[in-house]
Amino acid sequence: MRPETLAIRTQTERTGEKEHSTPMFLTSSFVYDSAEDMAAAFADDTLDVNIYSRFSNPTVDEFIKKICILEGAEDGIATATGMAAIYSSFMTFLSSGDHMISASAVFGSTHTILTKYLPKWGIQYSYFNMNKPEEIASLIKPNTKVLYLETPSNPGLDIIDMNYVSALCKKHNILFIVDNCFATPAVQQPIKFGADLVLHSATKFIDGQGRVLGGVVVGKKDLIKQLYLFVRNTGPSLSPFNAWVLTKSLETLFVRMDKHAENAFHIARALENNPALSWVKYPFLESHPQYAIAKQQMKNGGGVLTFELKAGLEGGRKFLNNLTWLSMTNNLGDTRTIASHPASTTHSKLTEAERQEVGISPGLIRLSVGLEHPDDIVEEIIQALNK
């Protein structure tokens, strides 16, 4: 069966109630038939048995299984948030004295982990520019263990050739981790391009309606086993309720991502020559610097676009205040279109030099395009620009 079908038809085994829709296993623990069975469950980590929902849960397992199928991964682990997925991945595979390489264009909280917390534990990091992948080779050290990036990046929509990065990582025995949050497995599958681990903030397009938090990491089975033990023992597990919401959301992921991308492309083209804007950036616009790579790696351009207001930082604030119905929030990937101004919100804690380094200019607006009629979205943006 094709991925679109598997996202709908992959379900936990039916119970005796013969339900059509998967039930939610909202339980903290599980029972045993005998003392011997209970002892065996705790003695052998490899047993496929539920013990405690911090360890595993049927509803969470269904969600993980679906993401594994869609990403082409061997196994996975779900977490309470996307940041828990990122942090757990770093802490599982990095030790004091290790070095990691990261794209400089990463989410603000990821930047904080790299710059504020990892150095406290003796872990070094180096940044590279997504637009200059040739920089990576010069940053590799004997103690480099991990290379991490987002593609497309948040919020700059930078794209990198994953085959190129994967070849470098394999040559130097470096773990290659890709954040696939912006694209989702409906648009690209980084494992096909050599990624060892792929992670998501499931809070975004995977949920798709701004309801619950969640994260997930998938990849090679031997790597996931190590990650599973870290999550199991430290506790950032995904709740069964949130997993149930997310696994149902996956049933419409392909349809939604096609429409998000169709709307985003329409809006990007409508804004391209607007006199109030310096530029418009969207992966499937030919003006995008990595357009050719985007066409090779992605099914469509995704649901996010950015544009630069000529009026700068203050113009960004005025633009948001001029909106009449588009949402102002720090989330993305919703059915409802969301506008944000990273320089004054999500990336405000970065210095001006750091923001410039990751491509966040003063007037940058990030638009997470929803499922409303695209002409309504265009008209709302134009009236805000005109004011």
Domain boundaries, the chain: 3-252, 253-386
CA dist., res. 173 & res. 180, Å (int): 22
Would you state the pLDDT for residue 47? 62
17: left (phi over 0), alpha (psi -120 to 50) or beta: alpha
10-residue stretch averages of pLDDT, the chain, 387 residues long? 93 91 93 92 80 93 98 98 98 98 92 95 97 97 98 95 98 98 98 98 98 98 97 96 98 98 98 96 98 98 97 91 95 96 77 77 95 98 95
Q: What is 253-386's CATH number, 3.90.1150.10, 3.40.50.970, 3.50.50.60, 3.30.450.20?
A: 3.90.1150.10
Whole-angstrom CA distances from 325 to 318, 346, 377, 383 are 15, 21, 9, 11
Residue 139 phi, psi (nearest 5) = -90, -15
Domain 3-252 falls in which CATH fold?
Aspartate Aminotransferase; domain 2 (3.40.640)
For 158, other C-beta atoms within 10 Å of its C-beta total: 24
Contact 120/150 with Cβ under 8 angstroms? no
